[in-house]
Amino acid sequence: MLMGFKDFLMKGNVVDLAVAVVLGAAFGAVVNAMVENVLMPFISGLIGFPDFDSFAVVNYNGNLLQFGVLLTQVVNFLLIAAAIYFVIIFPMNKMIEARIRKFGGPVEEEDPHVVVLKQILDQLRVQTEVVNPAAFAAAVEAERLAESETLARIEDLEEKNKTFLGKAKNFVWGKEG
């Protein structure tokens, strides 16, 4: 019973999760320190007060509705998100891009199952060509027709993308063209 518990604890996922939680807590402290000690004092210097807690307080039948507290938390969230993006994500993406430019992108290995299936397909093509040349010719013609239909669809899409509506769709979806 204890051996099973030990095996469970030593699984890679449990240990990885524990490390992630500890690092996340430590990193949360760093981000909070940056927001509370750098960004919020900067904003307080710009607008004159450190938070929005006293902003938009409404007395509703003896109950205080403090919209400013919500606004403070929204601003804190946006500041934390911006701090994480500009201090960690953006520089890391630039380093990854520089590494890819320097060393090239990752080499994608083909799935071994796909490789085997391609070998089987090639062998079947060879057997079909030897045993039944007419069937082989028909298969080659079908492949040629399928390829020409695909090229025709691509040309149609390219023509549609040249229209104003196509350009607008590409702009909205962030596609170059």
Q: Domain residues of the chain, as ranges?
A: 10-103, 112-173
Amino acid letter, residue 99: R
Distance CA 131, CA 136 (A): 9
Per-residue exposure over 26-46, b if at least 16 CB sit within 10 Å of its own CB, e if not: eeeeebeebbeeebbeebeee
16-71 tens-digit pLDDT? 788 888 888 888 888 788 877 887 788 778 877 767 777 778 888 888 888 888 88
Lowest-confidence pick of 26-30, 89-93, 121-125, 163-167? 163-167
pLDDT score for 14:
73
Rg from Cα positions in the chain: 30
Architecture of domain 10-103: Orthogonal Bundle (1.10)
pLDDT (tens digit per residue) in 105-150:
777 788 889 889 989 988 887 777 777 777 778 888 888 999 999 9
pTM above 0.85, yes or no: no
Contacts of 133 (CB under 8 A, 6+ apart): none
Q: Is the pLDDT of residue 98 over 70?
A: yes
